[in-house]
Amino acid sequence: MPAKTKYELPLGAATREAFGKALVELGRENPNVVALDADLSKSTYTAAFAKEFPGRFVECGIAEANMIAIGAGLASSGKIPFAASFSVFAMNKGFEQLRVTAAYPNVNLKVVGTHSGISIGEDGPSQMSVEDLSLACSLPGFTVLCPADETAMIELVKLAAAHVGPVFIRAGRPKVAKIYEAGRQFKIGESIELVEGSDVTLIATGLLVAESIRAAEALESEGISARVIDFPTIKPLDREAIARAARETGAIVVAEEHLVDGGLGVRVAQAVAEMHPAPMEFVGIQNTYAESGTPEQLLDKYGLLARDVAAAARRVLKRKR
């Protein structure tokens, strides 16, 4: 269990579960919302939508490439399709269709990848999507979202439905800490500063947001003031917040449950290099695939805990000085 924190991070629902809840709510509000799945509806939580709206649900079987193409066709006909599967299958098996049938024609398709990262746990590396953010960001015109908790997921699903254009939303398997109160407002392209700080900035997304908050508390006990910023939008990037962080704190750590050779860290580094160069460190998966194990064991072994974020902050501060 995570250590107690003054920032109060009780355990909440999994983001995949929150997605399923938000999808049903959308379905009740808008008859144009439809859903597609690839024989994983109980795991992605689209099963509830299928039960309530059977005529607006397409079971595509174990065929993510076909699912993406069908979803793109539905988008072209005026529907608002949400195509869901494990992230590793949706992005890797469906990438050509994402490129040709969704990104190139810029259709209004929403793709939700669940069970992202290594926190899927015992299912092992074949099921672990550690490249999905970089793949999604490489698609021109795509908006890429990575919510940190259930509230963020619910609100971002609503924003994705209202946004005209292709969207990828990253969701995880395990229950996650509650960061936000219900009803918190979000905006595509905007980050959220969660903890004020002046010595170093911890930029995080998804599962690593809670770990960064815990890292900031540990650093505070050492006299280090760490700013924590959640980036629920990976693309388009909140460049203004990055420039301000680099200028005001002079050192940045980026933390994500993703390969460091892509994803949020690379995008932040590009923005820092262009606008206000500053020393940086990167907490993520280091050029490897993970083993099978419990989520807790894997996050520990591959360095994705608060202690690892705090250690990166100490390293970057040495370079800052």
- Catalytic residue set: 64
Show the tokens assigned to 318.
């040495």
Show the tokens assigned to 158.
């609503």
Over the range 146-165, which residues count as b (16 or more CB within 10 Å of their CB) and which as e? bbbbbbbbbbbbebbbebeb
What is the helix (H) or strand (E) element at residue 162, kind and residue range? helix 150-162
The β-bridge relationship of strands 143-145 and 233-235 is antiparallel
The conformational region for residue 262 under phi > 0 = left, psi -120 to 50 = alpha, else beta, is left
- Count of H-run helices and E-run strands, the chain: 13, 14
Q: Which residues contact 99 (CB under 8 A, 6 or more apart)?
A: 139
Q: Residue 253's beta-bridge partner residues?
A: 202, 281
Residue among 122, 117, 119, 127 at smallest CA distance from 89: 127
